[in-house]
Amino acid sequence: MIVCPNCNHQNPEGATQCEACYTPLPTTIACPSCGASVQSDATFCGQCGSSLQPSVSATEQPSPDVLPTIVTSPAPDGIPAPAGEAEPLPATTSAPDLEKSSPPPLPFPETTTPPAPPPPVSIFSVTPATQLQQQSAQLVHVQTNTVVELPQNLSVIHIGKPNDLVPPDVDVSGFPNSEIVSRKHADIRVEADAFYIEDVGSSNGTYINNIPLSQGNRHRLRPGDRISFGKGDLVSFIFQMA
């Protein structure tokens, strides 16, 4: 079954648009790790948790063996050549004739390097930009009106009861009727400012606004959504943005 992301209507496999609201439906692919059917835009597999995004190869760095070619230009006229590169005098020219024909060398003016100017002083102070904080959210238990704050430092929030494999970040074992909730029941994934919930193979299922959430599909949570863990609406929470 493919759940419509707009109205949560369950559509048959292979459907391209919702039968209820005609919204285009997301396509599904097989997880390369476990073969479970997941949506093509999913980041992680809801069955085994494997990443579905391709790895990005590192950018090739230029080879350090390639050195830049230095191009030298000939010295301009009137500047003496470096030592060891003076051209020999012609054999037919004698030293006295050279002294008569060559003008006396012009003295070069003595030059001094001026000191570097001091760096400019800015009257404005630059304040580094602060990193945007993740938007906080919470679950309100319907039966007891208890508020459960969702952790802000996690990208995947595990919901269930204590176990040795995946300890829950939101433990529901202390709420009434928690025996219908599986130890590994559901995950809430945080992507930017959006929250997505998916069932991870619970025994009694997960319901969003009284509609069952198929395993492998995920639902984007909006303020006011009712989340029920297990049948009978006995363990229910209201999703809220703080």
Amino acid at 46: G
Q: How many CB atoms lie within 10 A of CB 203?
A: 11
Amino acid at 213: L
Q: Which pLDDT score, from 0 to 100, does residue 188 have?
A: 97
Q: Which pLDDT score, from 0 to 100, does residue 125 have?
A: 47
> How many whole angstroms separate alpha carbon 168 and alpha carbon 186?
10
Residues 159, 185 contacting (CB under 8 angstroms): yes
Which domains are delineated in the chain? 2-52+135-241 (2.60.200.20)
Order the strands of the 137-141 sheet from edge to edge. Answer: 147-149, 137-141, 236-241, 226-229, 206-208, 211-212
Q: What is the pLDDT of residues 107-133, one digit of tens each?
A: 655 666 777 777 765 544 444 444 445
Q: Which pLDDT score, from 0 to 100, does residue 132 have?
A: 47
If 0-12 CB within 10 Å is exposed, 13-18 middle and 19+ buried, where does residue 82 land? Answer: exposed
Mean pLDDT by 10 residues, the chain (242 residues): 72 74 74 74 71 55 50 52 52 50 59 71 48 75 95 94 94 95 96 94 95 93 96 95 82
